[in-house]
Amino acid sequence: MPPLKNPRRELFCQRIATSPKNGLSQGQCYEASGFKTNGRSADACAARLLTEANVQNRISELLEPAVRKTRATVDTLAAQFDAVFDGAMGSAQFGPAGNAAGLKAKLLGFMRERLEVGGVGEFDQCQSTDQVIETLLSRHESPAEALEELDELREMVASYAASHAIMIAPAAPARRPNETALSLAHSLPKRRRR
């Protein structure tokens, strides 16, 4: 499909296709493409434009090389995990088989181990704690929403730490001598040193 005839629509499609990298919302992509809006209507206008078939087709076309490259990588890794799983099961090594199955599940998105906070690279420019807080708060309607997201992240970190904790066996208690040994020690004459 050739580029769209309307240059603003073409630029919108390109910005939407790269929005995961640059962290722009649909409304921000809409405004950055040269469309004029009032207030928060950019999100609604962007959503309406995204329903048009030619816009959807153009975005799919722009994303196709990245999707193809990613799919080949995911498929290749999944096949490798399958080979490891089959080999481990054949050797009755259930630990490595379980690890391969778990890693494949994470790769395919069935298990989530972390929570992505912010867009890709959104916090890269932050030089201080205040800038990180300002960036985080700018993404939410209220500080309460930001705190909810951080609470969820805290729970996930605690869960991860608990699942990766190393158990340390308690040290054996020092043996106390029994009463017979104590009485023998006191009753025997002490050796004199020269």
Give per-residue pLDDT as tens, 114-171: 555 555 667 677 788 888 888 878 877 888 888 888 888 888 887 777 777 776 667 6
Q: For the whole model, what pTM was predicted?
A: 0.38
Q: Where are the domains of the chain?
A: 1-51, 67-110
> H/E/C letters for each residue in the chain?
CCCCCCHHHHHHHHHHHHHHHHCCCHHHHHHHCCCCCCCCHHHHHHHHHCCCHHHHHHHHHHHHHHHHHHHHHHHHHHHHHHHHHHHHHHCCCHHHHHHHHHHHHHHCCCCCCCCCCCCCCCCCCCCCHHHHHHHHHHCCCCHHHHHHHHHHHHHHHHHHHHHCCCCCCCCCCCCCCCHHHHHHHHHCCCCCCC
pLDDT tens, position by position, 70-110: 666 777 777 887 888 888 888 888 888 888 888 877 777 77
